[in-house]
Structure 1
Amino acid sequence: MTDTALPAPGPEARAHSERLVAAITAQIDAGGGAIAFSRFMDLALYAPGLGYYSAGARKFGADGDFVTSPELGAAFAECVIDSLSPVLREIGNEAVFLELGAGSGAFALAALEHFSRTGTMPAQYWLLEPSADLRERQQILLRDALPAEDFARCRWLDNEPTTPWRGVLFANEVIDALPATRFVIRGDEVREQCVGRDGDGNFCFVERPADAALREIVRAVERDLDAPFAEGYCSEILPQLPAWIAAIAEQLQQGVMLFVDYGYPRREFYLPERRDGTLVCHYRHRAHNDPLFLPGLQDLTAFVDFTALAEAGTQMGFEFAGYCTQASFLINNGLADRLAAIEAINDLAERYRRHQEIKKLTLPGEMGERFQVMGFQRGIDFSRGMMLGDLRRRL
């Protein structure tokens, strides 16, 4: 149920959403009255020119719908780069840093500036960004802020790398935005949650029998949990995750994959009390639970099953490097240096702002424990970057 306190959009924004509603409705009609929720989420987020990430509305930061770690300041990116610089140095002159879903470009800017200051600049900085609007914003930001020689290292990719490369693959809050499949348990049957239209023409949830592939994936999770899901249990799953990891990492010959996202190990992701799943919607800095509300104007995300991510990465032949909270990762990779630099700031207002940045990144009630970090390695040792507070036992 939509929170009636959510602010109403302006006429232009509402008209934009209505265009996307019409496009989704056409697919529902063509699909016999319903489409899979994963397809609805894909269209709501990525429909060309209309989806949330494909259109021009501001999404990140104080003026958008949510704030990511890089939007708070440079500390997050600097700690990430400190953890990965030894990997890039070991690989040498051909090392590449690949950022997936670069958002506003805030991480890339802070990372490239820190690479320059520390003398650890990779040969190239690749940005894989499916949104043409965000890509343009990233290019403007980096072109205006960086020296020409540093900007020249940036390369925007249309698709996953198709030729062998060596370096680092980094993704912050990317997996949570992959279109999630929703399943529901009815009796002994696994059903798929879909989106159709009610008698008034509004979007509504409908259920259809799950196909054989989805049934087997859900039953495999039950076997792993050693318990069946209860009647009416509804949650998310990412059947495409192994193929997605394979696509983005197939050509990475030597290096590290590092993922930061909010989520849980499988046994916590599918707790009995989490019977409505983990789906969260963000609209103008308000979180709510109606994914059918104003398509194209709000973000849709589902928490990450980190056990599934660990399985997908190791199935690709990568060695598991570690799993920890964001707070532990930052503390292990130079957070003390950031704090020391903050203490040296004379401007009291700026010092306070930077302290608030660190608190939001690390406190348990903020991002410190809700966000987690998982690393994989191939032909190189990254375990030291993940050694503090390793949680692999919970997987």
Structure 2
Amino acid sequence: MKVELDLPELTDDERAHSARLAHLLVEKIKINGSIPFSEYFAECLYHPELGYYTGALPKFGRSGDFVTAPMISQYFSFCLANQIAEILALCKSPSIMEVGAGTGVMATDILTQLKKINALPEHYYIIEISPVLRERQRESIAKAHPDLIDRVMWLNEPPKEAWQGCIIGNEIVDALPVERFTIQDGKAYYADVGYDESTAQFITVAHRQDDQLIQFMAQLAKENIILPDGYVSEFCPIVKTWLADLTKTLAKGAVLMVDYGYSRRQYYMQERVEGTLIAHFKHRVHNSWELFQGLQDLTANVDFTLLAEAGLEADLDFLGYTSQAYFLYGNGLEGMLTEAKAQISDEMAWYKIAQAIQILVLPAEMGERFKVLALGRNIEIEPQGFALYDMSQQL
């Protein structure tokens, strides 16, 4: 059921931008009658000129559509840096590779903390497809660390040569194109995207099946997950090839992925009848995916069971799975806050820090909704960030 929201009006430029992308999508749909939802998703977010992430419109912060953990508090990145340092210490000539660095604030703060604890990497690689974001990241890092900017390298794909170190991604997996499906008469069909010319609206078209979907539903049934008629949800089949490609040259090290999501059993609970797909538009969260092509972020929660399975298939070892709150505390959050409070005399400044930390760790905020998954290759480690609470039994 669609929830009516008072969404902001578009400017003339925004309207024209969205109309251009919508026209391209309609032309694609006319060829076959519909397109896979993953194709619609990918075009809306990553079209070379008109995609949400590749365009020049603000995406992050108050002027954008959403705020991420590194923007809420630098202590998120400080804690992540502490975990990275533990991994880098076991590697030879180690580097860091961040996937999709957003505004560059997380990279900046990670380098700040690693410099403080004498654990700087040889290189800091950033995989970023947006020229606009690349420039913003470069400015942010260079301003804070002019002495380190030469270590930062922007790449279109992972290094071709073998390397050691740590791969990190914050709210990246949720932006991978997903397929939607729906259950009708006990069978699953893709919820593809069509176009109704009489109403000039994008619509759901559900009549397609293939072996991939059938095998996915068989896996759910094997785990006693039976979905009722009318159920709509999503899955992310490309995550396996994506992770394999991302990690293929990592000779030794670990992967840390932070995102919102669930284990498979939690993801496909019977009461979650509309799935997890949502859109972000100018700090409004809604479920009208068919609006504002190229202007709003589309995202689906992460199936961490599938992500862990993808890691095993990519010849990675499972290292840990926990909530964001436990991960941050396991990586020294409390100690760093105690140290900071002793140095801050301004009560209002401390209040703002404490308020931000609560958003990161409280269960009703990001503390439990966001999870952290660690995978490794050729590295013997029990990561400190997963020592306080092991959630692997949920996967």
TM-score over 0.5 for the pair: yes
User: Do 1:342 and 1:354's aligned partners in 2 also have CA atoms closer than 8 Å?
Assistant: no
Q: Distance in 2 between matches of 1:192 and 1:5?
A: 30
Q: Distance in 2 between matches of 1:174 and 1:7?
A: 26
User: Do 1:2 and 1:293's aligned partners in 2 also have CA atoms closer than 8 Å?
Assistant: no
Q: Which residue of 2 aligns with 1:65?
A: 65
Counterpart selection for 1:276 from 233, 250, 274 = 274
Q: Which residue of 2 aligns with 1:145?
A: 144
Q: Which residue of 2 aligns with 1:203?
A: 202
Q: Distance in 2 between matches of 1:296 and 1:155?
A: 28
Matches within 5 A, 1:99-138: 99-138=98-137
User: What is the identity, as a one-letter code, of the residue corresponding to 1:97?
Assistant: I
Counterpart check, 1:337 vs 2:338: no
User: What is the identity, as a one-letter code, of the residue corresponding to 1:15?
Assistant: A
User: Do 1:98 and 1:169's aligned partners in 2 also have CA atoms closer than 8 Å?
Assistant: yes
Q: Which residue of 2 aligns with 1:240?
A: 238
Counterpart selection for 2:228 from 220, 227, 230 = 230
User: Do 2:48 and 2:54's aligned partners in 1 also have CA atoms closer than 8 Å?
Assistant: yes
- CA shift, 1:123, in A, is 0.2
3-state SS of paired residue (2:321): strand
User: What is the identity, as a one-letter code, of the residue corresponding to 1:66?
Assistant: F
- CA shift, 1:329, in A, is 0.3
User: Do 2:86 and 2:383's aligned partners in 1 also have CA atoms closer than 8 Å?
Assistant: no
3-state SS of paired residue (1:383): coil
User: Do 1:256 and 1:382's aligned partners in 2 also have CA atoms closer than 8 Å?
Assistant: no
- CA shift, 1:160, in A, is 2.5
Q: Distance in 1 between matches of 2:314 and 2:244?
A: 6
- CA shift, 1:20, in A, is 1.2
TM-score (norm 1): 0.96
Q: In structure 2, do the counterparts of structure 1 residues 295 and 227 end up closer, same or farther at CA, with 3 Å as the change threshold?
A: same
Q: Which residue of 2 aligns with 1:44?
A: 44
User: Do 2:225 and 2:265's aligned partners in 1 also have CA atoms closer than 8 Å?
Assistant: no
User: What is the identity, as a one-letter code, of the residue corresponding to 2:199?
Assistant: D
User: What is the identity, as a one-letter code, of the residue corresponding to 1:243?
Assistant: T
List alignment gaps of at least 5 residues for structure 2: none
Q: Distance in 2 between matches of 1:146 and 1:263?
A: 33
Q: Which residue of 2 aligns with 1:372?
A: 371
TM-score (norm 2): 0.96
User: Do 2:320 and 2:383's aligned partners in 1 also have CA atoms closer than 8 Å?
Assistant: no
User: Do 1:262 and 1:303's aligned partners in 2 also have CA atoms closer than 8 Å?
Assistant: yes
CA RMSD across the alignment: 1.3
User: Do 2:201 and 2:290's aligned partners in 1 also have CA atoms closer than 8 Å?
Assistant: no
Q: Distance in 2 between matches of 1:64 and 1:346?
A: 33
Query: Mean Cα displacement is larger for which, 81-90 or 164-173?
Result: 81-90
Number of residue pairs the alignment of both structures matches = 391
Query: Mean Cα displacement is larger for which, 134-143 or 252-261?
Result: 134-143
**1:224-269 deviation line (CA, Å, top 9, x unaligned):** 2x14221121111011111111100111110001110000011100
User: What is the identity, as a one-letter code, of the residue corresponding to 1:42?
Assistant: A
Q: Distance in 2 between matches of 1:197 and 1:124?
A: 47
Q: Which residue of 2 aligns with 1:163?
A: 161
User: Do 2:257 and 2:374's aligned partners in 1 also have CA atoms closer than 8 Å?
Assistant: yes
- CA shift, 1:2, in A, is 5.8
User: Do 1:168 and 1:255's aligned partners in 2 also have CA atoms closer than 8 Å?
Assistant: yes
User: Do 1:161 and 1:248's aligned partners in 2 also have CA atoms closer than 8 Å?
Assistant: no
User: Do 1:64 and 1:284's aligned partners in 2 also have CA atoms closer than 8 Å?
Assistant: yes
Q: Which residue of 1 aligns with 2:352?
A: 353
Q: Which residue of 1 aligns with 2:83?
A: 83
**1:307-344 deviation line (CA, Å, top 9, x unaligned):** 11111111222211111000000000010122113312
Q: Distance in 1 between matches of 2:206 and 2:161?
A: 42
Q: Which residue of 1 aligns with 2:263?
A: 265
Identity %: 38
User: What is the identity, as a one-letter code, of the residue corresponding to 2:40?
Assistant: F
Q: In structure 2, do the counterparts of structure 1 residues 320 and 4 end up closer, same or farther at CA, with 3 Å as the change threshold?
A: closer
Matches within 5 A, 1:279-358: 279-344=277-342, 345-358=344-357
User: Do 1:342 and 1:355's aligned partners in 2 also have CA atoms closer than 8 Å?
Assistant: no
User: Do 1:214 and 1:239's aligned partners in 2 also have CA atoms closer than 8 Å?
Assistant: no
3-state SS of paired residue (1:309): helix
**1:280-314 deviation line (CA, Å, top 9, x unaligned):** 11111111111111111111100011111111111
User: What is the identity, as a one-letter code, of the residue corresponding to 2:25?
Assistant: I
Q: In structure 2, do the counterparts of structure 1 residues 217 and 79 end up closer, same or farther at CA, with 3 Å as the change threshold?
A: same
List alignment gaps of at least 5 residues for structure 1: none
Q: Distance in 1 between matches of 2:339 and 2:279?
A: 36
User: What is the identity, as a one-letter code, of the residue corresponding to 2:55?
Assistant: A
